C-alpha cells in the first residue's frame, strides 16, 4: 500500500491564518514510477487505431521524451499539486479514536456538521481523481469493445 500522504497543520492560533500544507509530493520512488507509467499508458491508449486522425502527437510530455530519466525530469519540472486535496478530513470506522468523520460523514465532536467531498478519503493513489478513473477504467475499454461506441458518435457529432 502506498503511504505518501501529506499533512495540514495550523500555522498559529489565529483562525484566519492560512494553514501549512505539505502535499509530500513525489516523496517516494513509487510515486514517480506511477506518474511515469501513467504517461506511458496514456500514450499507448491514444495510439490505438480508433484515435488515428484525431490524435497526432504527444505534446505533454513531448513525444521525444521516452526514457525513465527523461520522463522523471519532465515530471519533476512540471507536476504540481493543484490542491485537489484528499485526506484532510479522513474517515474512520464508527467508534474509532482517530479520523475526522465517521462513515456517515459526520464530523466527530460536533452536531449537524458533515463533510461530503474527497477530503474524507484516507488512502488515495497520488494522481488527480480523473487520472485515477482513466487508469482504472479506460484501459479496459478497448478489450470490452466499448471505446468505438464512445468515440464514433463524437466524431460524427451525434452523441447518443
Residue 146 region by backbone torsions, left for phi larger than 0, else alpha for psi between -120 and 50, else beta: alpha
Most trustworthy range by pLDDT among 54-58, 109-113, 133-137, 139-143: 109-113
Q: Look at residue 72 in the predicted model and tell me its pLDDT.
A: 94
How far, in Å, CA of 89 to CA of 107, rounded? 9
C-alpha cell belonging to residue 130: 480523473
Q: Residue 35, exposed/middle/buried by CB under 10 A (0-12, 13-18, 19+)?
A: buried
Q: Which tops the pLDDT comparison, 81 or 109?
A: 109
Question: pLDDT digits over 116-154, tens only?
Answer: 776 777 665 555 555 544 444 444 344 444 444 444 433
User: Which of the four pLDDT bands, split at 50, 70 and 90, describes residue 53?
Assistant: confident
Amino acid at each position: 500500500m502506498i503511504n505518501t500522504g501529506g499533512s495540514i497543520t495550523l500555522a498559529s492560533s489565529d483562525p484566519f491564518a492560512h494553514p501549512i500544507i505539505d502535499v509530500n509530493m513525489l516523496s517516494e520512488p513509487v510515486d514517480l514510477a506511477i506518474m511515469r507509467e501513467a504517461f506511458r499508458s496514456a500514450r499507448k491508449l491514444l495510439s490505438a487505431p480508433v484515435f488515428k486522425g484525431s490524435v497526432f502527437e504527444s505534446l505533454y510530455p513531448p513525444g521525444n521524451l521516452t526514457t525513465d530519466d527523461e520522463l522523471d525530469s519532465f515530471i519533476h519540472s512540471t507536476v504540481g499539486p493543484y490542491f485537489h486535496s484528499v485526506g484532510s478530513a479522513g474517515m474512520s470506522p464508527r467508534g474509532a479514536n482517530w479520523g475526522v468523520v465517521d462513515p456517515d460523514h459526520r464530523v466527530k465532536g460536533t452536531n449537524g456538521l458533515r463533510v461530503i467531498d474527497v477530503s474524507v478519503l484516507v488512502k488515495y493513489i497520488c494522481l488527480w481523481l480523473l487520472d485515477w478513473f482513466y487508469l482504472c477504467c479506460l484501459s479496459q475499454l478497448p478489450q470490452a469493445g466499448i471505446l468505438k461506441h464512445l468515440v464514433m458518435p463524437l466524431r460524427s457529432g451525434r452523441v447518443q
